[in-house]
Structure 1
C-alpha cells in the first residue's frame, strides 16, 4: 500500500465514525453539552472545519466551506472561523438543524482531502510547508495532523452521545 493510499484510508475513518454518531440523533442530543463541554454538533463541525481549512491552505484553493455550506448548515461563521478557542457560549450558539447536512459537509471535506492526497507524488509529502515548528512541518505531517484532529473530535462526539443517551457504536 502506498503512502497516499494509507493517508486516504486514515482520512476516511472519522467520516465513517461520524456516520454512526449522527445516525438517528435527536436535536436535543446533537446540541447537548455534557459537563458544559462541546456539543456533538460542534465537535463534528469542528472536525470538518479544521481539516477543510488546513487542506485548502495546502491545496492553495478555497475551502469547501465556501461552496455555501454556512447557509446549508445555518451557521453564521465565515471561512476564517473554524472553532479554535470557542467559549462554551460560542459552542452553544452553533446550532445545526439537519445532522444529514453536517455529515454531507464532512463527506465533501473528505472528498477534497482524498482528491488532494491522490494527486500528490510520494515526494510531495516530504515538502516543508511550515517552518514555525522544530522540526519543520512537512506536507505529510500536516495531513496526518488534520486526520488526527478529526479522529479525536469525532471520538469525543461518540463519547458525548454515550454520556447523553447511553449510546454505543453499533448498538
Structure 2
C-alpha cells in the first residue's frame, strides 16, 4: 500500500463516521447537548471539519474551503471567519446550529475531497518537510497529518457516541 492510499483510507474513515453520526438526525437532534456543557453533534462535526480545512489548507498553501467555497455564508454562524472552534465555551457550542445534516456533510465532503486529492500527490519524502518550527522538535508534514487524522477520528467518534445518547433519550 502506498503512502497516499494509507492517508486516503484514514480520511475516508473519518468521512464514514461523520456521515453515520449525522444521518437522519433532525436539526434539533444535531443541536441537542447529550449532557450539561457537552458538545453537540453539530458542533463536533463542524469543528473537526474546520480544523481539517484550516490545517490542510495551510499545508497546501491555499485558501480554506470554508471561505473560498462559501461555506462561511451558508452556515451563518456568529464567529469570525478564521474560527475553528478551538477554545469554545458551552454558549459557543450551542450557537452552532444547522438546518440539516446535509449542511454538515456537504462541508465535510468538500474538505475531504480537497484533502484526498492533495494527499494523492504526496510521497514519503514529503512527510519530512518541516511545516511548523514553533515547536521543539519542529512539526513535520507527516506529524501534522497524523495529528489532523487523530483529532478528526476522536471528534467523529464523540459525535457517534453523542448520537447514541440523543437517540436513546427520545
1:45 aligns with 2:46: yes
Residue in structure 1 matching 2:120, options 93, 97, 118:
118
Shift of 1:71: 1.9
**Residue 31 of structure 2: aligned partner:** 31
Secondary structure of 2:59's counterpart equals helix
Instruction: Kindly tell me the number of residue pairs found equivalent between the two proteins.
Output: 167
**Residue 127 of structure 1: aligned partner:** 129
| Alpha-carbon distance between aligned partners in 2 of 1:13 and 1:137, rounded to the nearest angstrom | 24
| Alpha-carbon distance between aligned partners in 1 of 2:138 and 2:93, rounded to the nearest angstrom | 32
| Alpha-carbon distance between aligned partners in 2 of 1:46 and 1:30, rounded to the nearest angstrom | 13
| Alpha-carbon distance between aligned partners in 2 of 1:72 and 1:12, rounded to the nearest angstrom | 24
- CA deviation map 1:94-126 (0-9, x unaligned): 111121121010001111111111122321111
| Alpha-carbon distance between aligned partners in 2 of 1:79 and 1:2, rounded to the nearest angstrom | 36
Shift of 1:163: 1.2
Q: Is the 8 A contact 2:22 2:163 kept in 1?
A: no
Equivalence map 1:14-93=2 (5 Å): 14-35=14-35, 36-66=37-67, 67-93=69-95
**Residue 142 of structure 2: aligned partner:** 140
Equivalence map 1:4-19=2 (5 Å): 4-19=4-19
After TM superposition, the structure 1 stretch with the greater mean CA deviation from structure 2, 40-49 or 21-30, is: 21-30
After TM superposition, the structure 1 stretch with the greater mean CA deviation from structure 2, 51-60 or 121-130, is: 121-130
Q: TM-score if structure 1 supplies the norm length?
A: 0.92
Q: TM-score if structure 2 supplies the norm length?
A: 0.93
Secondary structure of 2:120's counterpart equals helix
Shift of 1:145: 0.7
Secondary structure of 2:165's counterpart equals helix
Q: Which aligned segments of 4 or more residues in structure 1 are displaced greater than 4 angstroms?
A: none
